[in-house]
Amino acid sequence: MSQRLTNILGYLTLFAILGAIWVLFGEDPTREQGGRGEPTFEGIKDRINDVVRIKLSQTGERTTLVRSDVGWSVEERDGYAADAELVRSFLRGVAISERRDPKTANPERFMEIGLGEAARKIELFASEESPLLSFDMGKQSTITADRSLTYVWQKTDTRSWLVTALAEVEAKPSFWLASDILNIADARINRVEMENVVLSRAIDAQEFSLEDLKEGEQALPAWRLGEPARVIADLTFEDVRHLGNPLTDPTSTVTLNTHDGLVLTLALHDMEGSTWAQLDARFDKDLLEAGDAGTVPDAVADVAAEASSLSEQSRGWFYRLSTADARVLLQGRTDFLENGEK
């Protein structure tokens, strides 16, 4: 056999092997071939601003996000406000997502990449009729610390794909909630009252003191005394529910006063093994007038309006606190004393 014929047969064998690999795995070495670089969701970029409803479901969890004139809300949480930036980020990713790598077409392997029965089912609606877009969203494949690809499957595709730009999301309603309750400037806070505990500071002071120390008692360091104020000032929650009346009496009540007359009261309830907070806000003019003389740092121009707005926003809502925040707010007097003195 001549050298030339041997070379030709060798090349033919190589091409046959490469062809078999392509047929089996659907992979090719360039970004341009086989749909790489094309939009993941054809035509959705021009319609993304028409989306008024998003449905997500996964193994028993279900979330419906609804857009209205005042923004996005979570239907399964009685219409509580959704995190607008989280929703926008997700929709933005759907709009600009590109196909990057073709993956398995075998449904028996879908579970390995978070598809099939394990997938997050996503539906986007522009009206109450059929979905504008529906797809299955699987696991993420991390490329770098700040960049990842996501496995997806569409009924119109012949195989699964790794695609770009999709934000990692969950089908749990609590994931989508706008979880910030309060944002009170630290310098405004004057006093926190808890179970047998009063922590206070003057208008020009940075550190809190434990009131009514008895002879021989020693308070914990200042940073520990300031924990309750810090938790309340930037209070967040993990879940929310709307109740006409609490299911239980409060186990504890925490009150925060500001130098400029805002009074915040948190009634803490033990429900379903977690601590839930009910918020009330009011403006106390007498408290303002009786306070220390001086300029209140970061004071609000209209505290009465602030209190009214907070009260209106929180009326009827119960907020499930994180374990860490609940632990801080449920402390008693001995928790603020060295060696737990009594």
Tell me the pLDDT tens digit for each residue of 32-67.
Answer: 334 889 999 999 999 999 999 999 999 999 999 999
- Residue 115: pLDDT band with limits 50, 70, 90: very high
- Do 213 and 75 fall into the same domain? no
The pLDDT tens digits for 180-205 are 999 999 999 999 999 899 999 999 89
Residues 195 and 306 in one domain: yes
Reported confidence tier of residue 88, pLDDT bands at 50, 70, 90 = very high
- Same domain for 71 and 172, yes or no, is yes
* Same structural domain, 171 and 190: no
- Read off the pLDDT of residues 124-156 as tens digits, 9 standing for 90 and up: 999 877 899 999 999 998 766 657 899 999 999
Q: Is residue 163 part of a domain?
A: yes
Rg (CA), the chain: 29
Q: Give me the percent of the chain exceeding a pLDDT of 70.
A: 87
At 21, is the pLDDT very low, low, confident or very high (cuts 50, 70, 90)? very low
Show which of 176, 210, 225 is a domain's final residue: 176
The mean pLDDT value for 169-184 works out to 98
Same domain membership, residue 67 and residue 157: yes
- 15 belongs to a structural domain: no
229 in the same domain as 120: no
Judge contact between 149 and 37, C-beta under 8 A: no
Phi, psi of 309 (to 5 degrees): -65, -45
Alpha carbon of 211 to those of 107, 205, 294, 337: distances in Å? 66, 15, 22, 11
What pLDDT score was predicted for residue 5?
52
**Within-domain flag for 8:** no
Is the pLDDT at 26 greater than 50, yes or no? no
Q: CA 305 to CA 301: how far, in whole Å?
A: 9
C-alpha of 13 from chain center: 55
pLDDT tens, position by position, 267-308: 999 999 999 999 999 999 988 777 666 677 788 899 999 999
* Domain, as residue range, for 98: 23-176
- The whole-angstrom separation of Cα 164 and Cα 143 is 11
Whether 145 and 224 share a structural domain:
no
- The tally of domains found in the chain comes to 2
In b/e form, how buried is each residue of 175-194, taking b as 16+ CB within 10 angstroms? bbbbbebbebeebbbbbbbb
14 lies in some domain:
no
pLDDT of residue 293: 62
Query: How much is the pLDDT for 24?
Result: 39
Query: Are 216 and 166 in a shared domain?
Result: no
- Looking at the fold, whether 104 and 229 belong to one and the same domain comes out as no
pLDDT at 25 over 60: no
CB contact at 8 A, 241 and 77:
yes
Question: Of 176, 194, 229, at which residue does a domain stop?
Answer: 176
Decide if 120 is inside a domain.
yes
pTM: predicted TM-score of the whole model, two decimal places: 0.85
- Distance CA(137)–CA(148), nearest Å, equals 14
pLDDT of residue 67: 97
- Residue 226 falls inside a structural domain: yes
268 & 286 share domain: yes
The verdict on 196 and 321 lying in the same domain is yes
Residue 16 lies in a domain: no
pLDDT band of 31, cuts 50, 70, 90: very low
| Residue 147 or 241, more confident | 241
- Lowest-confidence pick of 80-89, 120-129, 244-253, 285-294: 285-294
Domain-located, residue 13 = no
Mean pLDDT of the chain: 89
| Last residue within a domain, chosen from 176, 205, 238 | 176
pLDDT at position 144: 61
330 and 243 in a common domain: yes
